[in-house]
Structure 1
Amino acid sequence: MLIRLAGLVSIEDAGEGNGEAARYLSSAQAQVAFARLAMERAGGTSRDQLADTVWPDGLPDTWASALRSVVSRVRSFVAGTEDAVVSRGGRYLLRLPAGAVIDLERAEAEVVDAVAAHAAREFDDALRLAESAVACLRRPLLPNHDGEWVGEVRARLAETLVTGLETASLAASALGDGPGALRFADEAVRRAPLRESTHRARMTAHVAAGNRAEAMRCYHELRATLADELGIDPSPESQAAYVELLGAPAEQVPQPQEASRSGPRAPAPFVGRRGERGALAQAWSRAERGTSHMVLVTGEPGVGKTRLVTEAAHQISLAGGVVAHARCDLAPAAPFQPVVEAVGALLAAGLDERLARRATALRDTLGTDQPDHTRAVEQAADLFARISREHPLLLILDDLDQAADDTLAVLRQVFRRRADSALLVVATAGLPARREERLTTLVQQLDQDGWLYRLTLPGLSEQDVRELADEVVPEPFLDEVPAPRRLVADTGGNVYLLLEMLQWPCERGSVGSRAELSPAIHEYATVQLTSLDAVPRRLLRGAVVAGRIFELDLVAEAAGLDLDRAMDALDLLLAAGIVSEAGRGRYRFTHDVLRRATYTQLSAARRRGLHARYAEVVERRRAGDLGRYTRALAHHRTAGATEGGDQHAVRWVWRAAAQAGGDGALEEAVRLHREALRHVPGEDDGLRAEAVTNLGLAQLAAGHRECGQTLLDGALHAMHSERLPVAARAALGLADAVGSRPELRAEAAALIELLVAEDSARWGQRGGNDRIDGVTLGRMLARQVRLGSPLGAGPVTDTALAELTRELGLLEGPGMVARRHTLAGELLTVATAVDDADGRIVAAHHQAMAAELRGDLAGRQAALTTLAAAAHANPLGDALLLEHAVAEAVTRGRFTDAAVVARLAGNVTGSGPGWAAVSPPPGTLAQRQLLVAGLLRTGLWPEPGAAPRTGPEAAERSLRELAGGVRGRPHLTVRAFATGAEPLPSGDEWAHLMGVLALGAVELGDPTTAEALRARLAPYGGLVCGVGYRTFAGQVSFHLGQLAVVTGDWDEAESQLTDAVAWLTVRGARPWVALAKQSLARALAGRARAGDRGSARTLLTEANTALVEAGLAHRVCAVVA
């Protein structure tokens, strides 16, 4: 059922095979009653409201019965049943059949949908819906009836009709139907002459029809109408539309040939450029005062030159200035084309009759096929001079670097006649590197005469980009837009490129594209590339492969250019703004999107060849520093990989994956190993086995559940390709993976047993690449035990124990703690399984050392417990435990106990593989620990021996000399180590010696020596200074804090010493805590901030008390220095 309320009130029912039959309601009273009941059917209409609607001029005496009669007519009209209109609670409710449609409601909904479709750039749907709604809404509503309700509905429908007309016009404009758009817009203006949006629609329609001057005339009519009728200026939206007209057509930036969007975008907001706008405002102010001159706005294509000058033109126009805008085309359709455009704009703006006649005459002269050049130049210059003498005139010449000689001739003549005029010429042009000589000559002439002011336009800042993104990107797409910092790096702040980057994510779905960059950006890149000569273009293509930042010598050789030609080409690229200097002999692309666009435009074969050539150049030219290029080489080798597999690519990706794993980027390592697997040559089974194994190990490290299956496959591939070492690595990983995949436990155990047996069978073939090394063999044996398989003594286990012990001896010091801890645990497992006492002691020793270096007290204690259990009646274990007891006694301030135990440790001796596996030799560190303790308590000095001149013991004995008041030789020793003149020992002794040196430097009190040691200790803030658990010489934070006191860095001293007090307190190191508090008190007193003195006194009191209790009264400090 279709109910028509507009025009003749009727109901159209679907007939039985006869189309639609219409019924009409003839009574005017029944029509208005039916209309209101229909439009208010959801909530009903009260009897009084309905009566007032039917009789708006006053109710008749018998209105109640008369209303019942009207309602009866309505009921009969609708359905002829009693249920069509019901009375309930003093209200009438109209009941319509399901599916009934009221024409006015449908028209209003269509307008809403049309507006939404237009906003979504679905212009065909928008036009169809708007036309349908307009056709309905044009029909009159109840023409034979008036009244308050009818008037309100008519007013609402009139507004809706105008909205429909505007939407239809805008949609037609977007679809290129200028005449149709103008028809709708003209009607909208007639119906709502003071509604600015109708005028804007008409301006848009004129532009779509190619009549920009008419569009400008429409704006001036709107401005005059609003001023006459309301005394106001046009709204900002209308002013913005006029600004767009002033700047149209836009800068010559290539537009995409394919449909990258479903219609024209809305004008982008103008952001930033405060300084440049101020400069143009000052230039106009000078022109108004009679100083005619020219401003040349330069910048790269798309940076926003035209938009800037049109914004300035808009402000000048609002202030009463006369504005003429013209654009110079590279190949103008007719002579003097920009002059013709400027004259047309002046006529549209409204000149007085006398000037208008001159302008019209000039336009007619220029409109001939072959105008007299001299006469035309004279007339044009004379017209602009006359206008600028009577009114301040702004003449905008867009893209002046494309101007023909006739336009430049007019410009010269204009400035020769500038006397007594108020003229500002604002011209835009590209960068000087791309400027033709004739324009350069003109610019130099104007500059020499003092008429020219240059304004170079940079890209937008991050803040401007953030503001622009907030304005143009719909909220649902904000997450797809890169951060402002990335956008600036990608575009150099170029407005055109920014808008493409901001709006393309919102549009690519509608055109079914997944491309990262819009077609417009690709065409912009093409224009930039084709504007270059052959050599710069060749260099640029090599550079786009290298990456956003590149090194000239590498790119030049990859591009096949000698360095001189490459440098000449680079100068041109720098001048064109395509690249810029990045420091240290490197260069970067100003707009990375152009690099990426240019890269994708290269053929696949050329890209592959350039990548491969670039990788070869890097490997040859940077052979001594390839670690810095690992990831880059992995990228270039894979991108330049030969089809069918490429070993170079595989191995460089492995290196990059190892680097990523070392940096903690475990998922990236997995991704890289997958990439490496793709490039394994199909016939190289051994390399494939290794690639699968590496992937499985990376998955294991990253916690991927599928790692077990990958490692099993890698092991099987390796065994069948005779790569036992690779299979062994896979087996180790698989054994570790069964913790999360217990279903593969049996396979892991069987694989290890099989590999051990196979390796044993090749015992006589030791050497070569097909044998498993002893360390890996030992690690497999440890896994075998952990998986529940028995392990017996024999040549295999002897070899494994010896190799694990030897490897652990190479892992001393703070740099290899994790691997040391792991291998020590595996050595302990194997040694325990075959009941090797020395092996257990050595393993527990290394576990304790690793735990101490990590600061893991619980781990250290567990290892020492294991060591004590293994040391039963074994002098090797006894010596190590006695050394630890001395270190603990010195740590806790039990100095007498330390001296007694040190004598016992000196009496323990032994020999054998176990003794040789521990360094320094067991039992030798106790006396050296007393050298450290003696600095605190002088009575603990060990018996003096021959004083060494160099080495760690020389540093330790310098402490004794310092305590005795000798400074000369100790200072030489400490400073030699601090400055690197004397090399520091490697391995476990390094941390002990650094603690000794720090103690000596504090005693010396020399700031330069202290600063040198601070620099060496700074990277190791949480490290314990000692030979692991065997000695104690403080902790790095403690030493850094004390050294900072010596150098006067009070804040750093406070920070480090506060950490040290907390750490030493946990360790129960009471005398060291007291020394730390004493130094902290000095630091606070030296800083002398509010409250520092009081805190320093409190700390010093606590420190002195603890020192006296520890028997170190000679270290008490009565006054804070």
Structure 2
Amino acid sequence: MLIRLIGLIAVEEPGGVARHLSSAQTQVAFARLILERATGTDRDQLADTVWPDGLPDTWASALRSVVSRVRTFVAHDDAELVAQGRRYLLRMPQDAVVDLECAERAVGDAIRAQAEGANADAQKFAMTALSYLREPFLPHHEGEWVAGVREHLDGLLSSALETASGAAAALGVDRDAVRFAEEAVRRAPLSESAHRCLMTAHAAGGNRAEALSSYQRLRQVLSEELGIDPSPQTQAAYVDLLGGPASHRGKPRAGTVAAAAVPFSGRRTELAGIAKAWAQTEQGVGHLVLVTGEPGVGKTRLVTEAARRIGRAGGLVVYGRCEPGSTVPAQPIVSALADFVAATPTESLPPLSFGPLRTLRALAPGNDARPDLAALTKLLAELADQSICLVLDDLDLADEDTFLLLRRVFRLGGTDCSLLLVATANGRGPRKPADPHTDFVHDMDRLGLLRRVAVPGLEESDMRALSRQIMPTAHAADVPPPYRLLADTAGNAYLAVEMLRWYREGPAVAGRRLPDGIHDYAEANLAALDPEPRRLLRAAAVAGFAFELDLAGDAAGLTPDDALDSLDELVETGLVTEVIATGFGANPVPKYRYTHDVVRRAVYEQLSETRRRWLHARLADAIEHHRTDNLATHSRALAHHRSAGAAADGDTRAVQASWHAAAWATRKGAQSEAVRLLEQALTHVPESDNELRADALTRLGLAQLAAGHRDCDQTLLDGTIQALHTHRLNIAAQAALGLADAVGTRPRLRSEATAMIDLLLRTVAESRPNRSVAVDDVTVGRLIARQCDLSTSVSADPAVTRSLRAMTGELRLLEGPDHVRWRATLAAEALAVAGAIGDTAGRVAAAHHRAATAELTGDIESRDAALASLAEAINDGDGDEIAIGDALLAEHTVAIAVTEGRLTDAAATARHVEIVQSATAIAPLPGSLAQRQMLISRWLRYGGAVAPDHPTTAHEGAERALAAILRGDRGLPHLTVRALAINAEPLPTGDEWPHAVGVLALSAVELGDAATAEAVRALLTPYPDLTCGVGYRTFVGTAAFHLGRLAVVVGDWDDAERHLSAALSQLAGRRARPWMALAQLALAKALDSRNKVGDRRCAQALRAEATWTLTNLGLRRSA
């Protein structure tokens, strides 16, 4: 199936039947979707392409209609057009080919074949390309995207014609060579390459006169249309036709690139500055426009474009380049005038008096005599009377005679000098005091005749244009994206061209990851530096994308003063740039980087392997020495340098550094990065250190398990085996636990995991205690839990019972909000062990802890499942555990009733709850919280008003304060709340802490003091998702509820909205109607106070709904 986009858009089936699109909008949408089918097309960009003159008011629906027509058009071809996010992706069958892409491939094949001397193949490929490219692209549609594709196709057509002409000339088919070249000239009359093809075609056919005439026509067209002369390459071809040698132009400066290789884009400000200077020159005020920038940034291309525009406007432009080492006095000016007279017919020379005219003719090719400085000065001064633009490339390399001549011309012209000197110079590095270039520039500045133009790097759009010129036939996947080129080269055109050519042609030397030109650029920069800056630059290359001065200086072996001096030199030469300071706390660390990252990579690649390893090790030592206070934040860099500097036969320091970095990555949630670091650590384990290998395998396997890697079970199995054989039972236990978890979802090693845990438990039971390798009772209990999960029967022997008691004891130590996840895991495992051996007391304790952790995190489903396990344990029990379980469930019933606003039911249930004094393993005592929950019930009913006096059993300071507030007191309760908030009086610990802080927050809001509210807010801020209460036994709202209400007191309206919106979602899931109503009232107050557009209306609706809810529940609160 052939898709035609050039000419009449159509889809041709294998049988030759073609289907067409009639709508112009559908055609352009289909064309863009086809060309961007690999990556998809952004919806907004597609709309801009369909309606380039402006989007209609209903463009979204209109675009959907256009897309629907495209979808219908391609539906016959087993294709599909799908929407993915904000992009449209057109999926065509595998056998679908596009004429434009076929043309691209054919042009690329033709150019490669011609370069290899296979002219017959080149002609065949070029003819294939021409068969596609002669028709116009979307002739009835305009727009930026369409214009870009047309420009690309025009370039392909010109390349195909020129390649076909060159191949035909080489094959002796002179008529075809001329025909293709003439067509290329007709299509691109200003293309010098097309004219050169025509000259070559005529010359190959023996028609030398026509070839010379072709050059004269080109020269005339360029002069009339653009006001410029043919390029040196074209002039050299013309001189060859004349039978004389081409003039030697000299070798370009290192780090520069020919202007023709760089497409011109942007530079509006710089061009405007030069144009303004030319306008002043035409009025008799000459100037020096000094264009500066680093080598390769595009200075020559800028002045060439400026000169072209001046010439097109009718100005006289003369171009010269400064050649260092030349013996000709005033060489750039002599060369410029010689080129001018060689390319200009006698009748077209400017009117001059006899002496200057004779001097000018003496510069013509073939004349050996060279005018003296005085004659040249008079000639240039008379030319300056008529307005002339003299372009001198690399003025900083000119000889003293050049500057002497220029000074005389400006002095002779005085206020009526119409000479615009546009010069380029290297803007990097300091100038010597006695430098003639610097003296000349200072003189021009002092006279007020200097205009400086600093040329920055190319922008992303320029990089895109550069890619299209260097790689016109490449697919998008083969071209580096413009933003990547920009990041690598900082917009340096020379470096970007080298990279693009390297991508196009491949590496010249196998194994090199950068072009030779960039290596040359880096070597030249290093060679120009003193030893100390060179050492710092090499250390910086090893440090990575950015470096810190003290670390790189230490690695380079420099003193702090030498490092600072070296840095100053590197910044002054433009090799290094300061980046935004980064750091933690009040002491940000300034960082530096290579201005061009490709240069850094080239410097790194040029280092020997030994030097690289040595510098990496030095940098690691420097980090450990200078960053002891925040080593964790540098752990990734430390691991990288330790790894890169590690010995080939293993390095324990590299292993430890990678482990620390992996731990830091895990804390930050970067599981895949942790896996990578642990894999890196494993590679540095010494071959003979089996114990370290066991530890490394175990850590890696556990990280793979957390990251969801498929091969984690095999890694953990190997870690367990290795640890068992080295008698590291503690490591083997951790690996076995992870293996058992892994086979839960990857059962291929289930039997091995079962056997391994059985073997490990037997080994632990038989081994002698050893503190360094012993397995504690909690870990043994966890292994037994895995036995239960793997369907292995477990008997209630003393070891199992002891392990279960250790697990429940550990659970008591984990109470509170700080270890919720670990406590939940351990509680579930203890519940499995207790259930397997029929230990009712253990089941009650484990279910209690599991329900408490689920409640703290708001996991209602897991809480209810744990409470169901608690109820089952009570039904199976026959001792104190029945009373304990009943009391706990009764407390939960009271808490649920208060949560849902059933306060009468809560009070009735609370009256019958008895405290179980014997349950010392559960704190507070089962049954003791029911009456304390009733304090919250009173607050719900009467908060905002004085409640009827009622006896309270409150024991904690926060509860005493809230009870006093409900009685109408303010002074002493405020002191109590303030003391608790600022930690002058300690809050209870464990599971009572969330309950106490919740009560404290209620009291702070009732008091209305902003400072106290802020102090309580600081306590809750680390736990925004916490549920306030003693696990499932009480309920005092959620942390988001309290944070939102406290924010209202403080006056932080946006924070109040954020937290209260989250609280409403949480409370709705609990059917906590009174709490939702209070959250709505607080949110309404925040919106009223913020008073943004729409806030008042939203606040009214929230307040009305909350008032209705409170009235319906019979709560007499103040709204």
The two structures have a TM-score, normalised by structure 1, of: 0.76
Residues 167 and 177, structure 2, Cα contact 8 Å, conserved in 1: no
| SS of equivalent residue, structure 1 residue 426 | strand
Evaluate the alpha carbon distance shift between residue 237 and residue 370 of structure 1 in structure 2; reply closer, same or farther with a 3 A threshold.
closer
Out of 345, 370, 385, which is 2:381 matched to?
Answer: 385
**How big is each residue's C-alpha offset from its partner over 1:576-610, in whole Å with a ceiling of 9 and x where there is no partner?**
12222222322222222211111111111000011
- 2:619 matched to which residue of 1? 614
Confirm whether residue 301 of structure 1 aligns to residue 295 of structure 2: yes
Residues 1044 and 1059, structure 2, Cα contact 8 Å, conserved in 1: yes
Structure 2 CA distance for aligned equivalents of residues 315 and 963 of structure 1: 86
| Displacement of 1:988 | 3.5
Confirm whether residue 936 of structure 1 aligns to residue 936 of structure 2: no
| Displacement of 1:788 | 2.4
Confirm whether residue 336 of structure 1 aligns to residue 334 of structure 2: no
Residues 855 and 1023, structure 1, Cα contact 8 Å, conserved in 2: yes
Counterpart residue identity of residue 123, structure 1:
A
Confirm whether residue 200 of structure 1 aligns to residue 203 of structure 2: no
| Displacement of 1:131 | 8.3
Give matches, 1:931-1010, under 5 Å.
Answer: 931-938=935-942, 943=951, 953-975=956-978, 987-1010=990-1013
| Displacement of 1:479 | 3.4
Structure 1 CA distance for aligned equivalents of residues 931 and 601 of structure 2: 67
- 2:525 matched to which residue of 1? 528
| SS of equivalent residue, structure 2 residue 319 | strand
Counterpart residue identity of residue 520, structure 1:
G
- 1:141 matched to which residue of 2? none
Out of 553, 556, 561, which is 1:556 matched to?
Answer: 553
Residues 1004 and 1013, structure 2, Cα contact 8 Å, conserved in 1: yes
| SS of equivalent residue, structure 1 residue 888 | helix
Q: Which one is further off, 819-828 or 872-881?
A: 872-881
| SS of equivalent residue, structure 1 residue 395 | strand
| Displacement of 1:238 | 9.4
**How big is each residue's C-alpha offset from its partner over 1:1009-1039, in whole Å with a ceiling of 9 and x where there is no partner?**
4455556545544332223222212123322
Confirm whether residue 727 of structure 1 aligns to residue 732 of structure 2: yes
- 2:33 matched to which residue of 1? none
Residues 199 and 218, structure 1, Cα contact 8 Å, conserved in 2: no
Evaluate the alpha carbon distance shift between residue 942 and residue 134 of structure 1 in structure 2; reply closer, same or farther with a 3 A threshold.
closer
Q: Higher Cα Rg: structure 1 or 2?
A: 1
Out of 744, 757, 771, which is 2:762 matched to?
Answer: 757
| Displacement of 1:683 | 0.9
Listed as ranges, the gaps of 5+ residues in structure 1 are 1-41, 43-110, 136-159, 257-263, 948-952
Residues 271 and 468, structure 1, Cα contact 8 Å, conserved in 2: no
- 1:880 matched to which residue of 2? 888
Evaluate the alpha carbon distance shift between residue 198 and residue 591 of structure 1 in structure 2; reply closer, same or farther with a 3 A threshold.
closer
Confirm whether residue 280 of structure 1 aligns to residue 285 of structure 2: no
Evaluate the alpha carbon distance shift between residue 132 and residue 717 of structure 1 in structure 2; reply closer, same or farther with a 3 A threshold.
closer
| SS of equivalent residue, structure 2 residue 673 | helix
Structure 2 CA distance for aligned equivalents of residues 826 and 833 of structure 1: 11
| SS of equivalent residue, structure 1 residue 1029 | coil
**How big is each residue's C-alpha offset from its partner over 1:440-493, in whole Å with a ceiling of 9 and x where there is no partner?**
232222212211122222223445545655665558543355555444332222
Confirm whether residue 418 of structure 1 aligns to residue 416 of structure 2: no
| Displacement of 1:832 | 1.8
Give matches, 1:586-597, under 5 Å.
Answer: 586-597=591-602
Evaluate the alpha carbon distance shift between residue 380 and residue 515 of structure 1 in structure 2; reply closer, same or farther with a 3 A threshold.
same
Structure 2 CA distance for aligned equivalents of residues 356 and 203 of structure 1: 36
- 2:310 matched to which residue of 1? 316
| SS of equivalent residue, structure 2 residue 838 | coil
Evaluate the alpha carbon distance shift between residue 994 and residue 495 of structure 1 in structure 2; reply closer, same or farther with a 3 A threshold.
farther
Cα RMSD over matched residues? Answer: 4.4
- 1:252 matched to which residue of 2? 253
Residues 852 and 863, structure 2, Cα contact 8 Å, conserved in 1: yes
Q: Which one is further off, 181-190 or 746-755?
A: 181-190
Q: Which one is further off, 457-466 or 400-409?
A: 457-466
Identity %: 47
- 2:688 matched to which residue of 1? 683
Out of 425, 429, 434, which is 1:429 matched to?
Answer: 425
| SS of equivalent residue, structure 2 residue 289 | strand
- 1:634 matched to which residue of 2? 639
| SS of equivalent residue, structure 1 residue 417 | helix
| SS of equivalent residue, structure 2 residue 413 | coil
Counterpart residue identity of residue 397, structure 2:
Q
Evaluate the alpha carbon distance shift between residue 216 and residue 274 of structure 1 in structure 2; reply closer, same or farther with a 3 A threshold.
farther
Structure 1 CA distance for aligned equivalents of residues 175 and 444 of structure 2: 48
- 2:115 matched to which residue of 1? 123
| Displacement of 1:292 | 0.7
Give matches, 1:360-379, under 5 Å.
Answer: 361=359, 376-379=372-375
Structure 2 CA distance for aligned equivalents of residues 853 and 236 of structure 1: 80
Structure 1 CA distance for aligned equivalents of residues 819 and 705 of structure 2: 21
Q: Which one is further off, 784-793 or 978-987?
A: 978-987
| SS of equivalent residue, structure 2 residue 410 | helix
Count residues in correspondence: 950
Residues 189 and 199, structure 1, Cα contact 8 Å, conserved in 2: no
| SS of equivalent residue, structure 2 residue 849 | helix
| SS of equivalent residue, structure 1 residue 792 | coil
| Displacement of 1:863 | 0.6
Structure 1 CA distance for aligned equivalents of residues 949 and 464 of structure 2: 69
Structure 2 CA distance for aligned equivalents of residues 113 and 932 of structure 1: 78
| Displacement of 1:533 | 1.0
| Displacement of 1:684 | 0.7
- 2:82 matched to which residue of 1? none
| Displacement of 1:191 | 9.9
Give matches, 1:350-749, under 5 Å.
Answer: 350-352=348-350, 354=352, 358=356, 361=359, 376-390=372-386, 392-419=387-414, 420-437=416-433, 438=435, 439-462=437-460, 464-465=462-463, 468-469=466-467, 474=472, 477-481=475-479, 483-508=481-506, 515-582=512-579, 583=581, 584-749=589-754
| Displacement of 1:398 | 1.6
Structure 2 CA distance for aligned equivalents of residues 314 and 1031 of structure 1: 84
- 2:65 matched to which residue of 1? none
| Displacement of 1:725 | 1.6
| SS of equivalent residue, structure 2 residue 391 | strand
Evaluate the alpha carbon distance shift between residue 887 and residue 563 of structure 1 in structure 2; reply closer, same or farther with a 3 A threshold.
same
Structure 1 CA distance for aligned equivalents of residues 1061 and 337 of structure 2: 80
**How big is each residue's C-alpha offset from its partner over 1:1073-1102, in whole Å with a ceiling of 9 and x where there is no partner?**
221222233334445566654544443333
Structure 2 CA distance for aligned equivalents of residues 1009 and 371 of structure 1: 97
**How big is each residue's C-alpha offset from its partner over 1:13-45, in whole Å with a ceiling of 9 and x where there is no partner?**
xxxxxxxxxxxxxxxxxxxxxxxxxxxxx9xxx
Structure 1 CA distance for aligned equivalents of residues 557 and 850 of structure 2: 57
Residues 104 and 473, structure 2, Cα contact 8 Å, conserved in 1: no
Structure 2 CA distance for aligned equivalents of residues 207 and 1006 of structure 1: 92
| Displacement of 1:897 | 3.8
- 1:100 matched to which residue of 2? none
Structure 2 CA distance for aligned equivalents of residues 131 and 1091 of structure 1: 71
Q: Which one is further off, 216-225 or 434-443?
A: 216-225
| Displacement of 1:1108 | 2.6
| Displacement of 1:564 | 0.6
Listed as ranges, the gaps of 5+ residues in structure 2 are 1-15, 17-102, 128-155, 202-209, 238-246, 582-588
Residues 550 and 588, structure 1, Cα contact 8 Å, conserved in 2: yes
Q: Which one is further off, 449-458 or 597-606?
A: 449-458
Evaluate the alpha carbon distance shift between residue 708 and residue 272 of structure 1 in structure 2; reply closer, same or farther with a 3 A threshold.
same
Residues 556 and 615, structure 2, Cα contact 8 Å, conserved in 1: yes
Counterpart residue identity of residue 428, structure 1:
T
Residues 394 and 425, structure 2, Cα contact 8 Å, conserved in 1: yes
Confirm whether residue 1104 of structure 1 aligns to residue 1107 of structure 2: yes
Q: Which one is further off, 1001-1010 or 303-312?
A: 1001-1010
| Displacement of 1:218 | 7.2
Residues 885 and 898, structure 1, Cα contact 8 Å, conserved in 2: yes
- 2:1028 matched to which residue of 1? 1025
| SS of equivalent residue, structure 1 residue 585 | strand
| Displacement of 1:570 | 0.7
**How big is each residue's C-alpha offset from its partner over 1:89-122, in whole Å with a ceiling of 9 and x where there is no partner?**
xxxxxxxxxxxxxxxxxxxxxx999955444474
Residues 114 and 127, structure 1, Cα contact 8 Å, conserved in 2: no
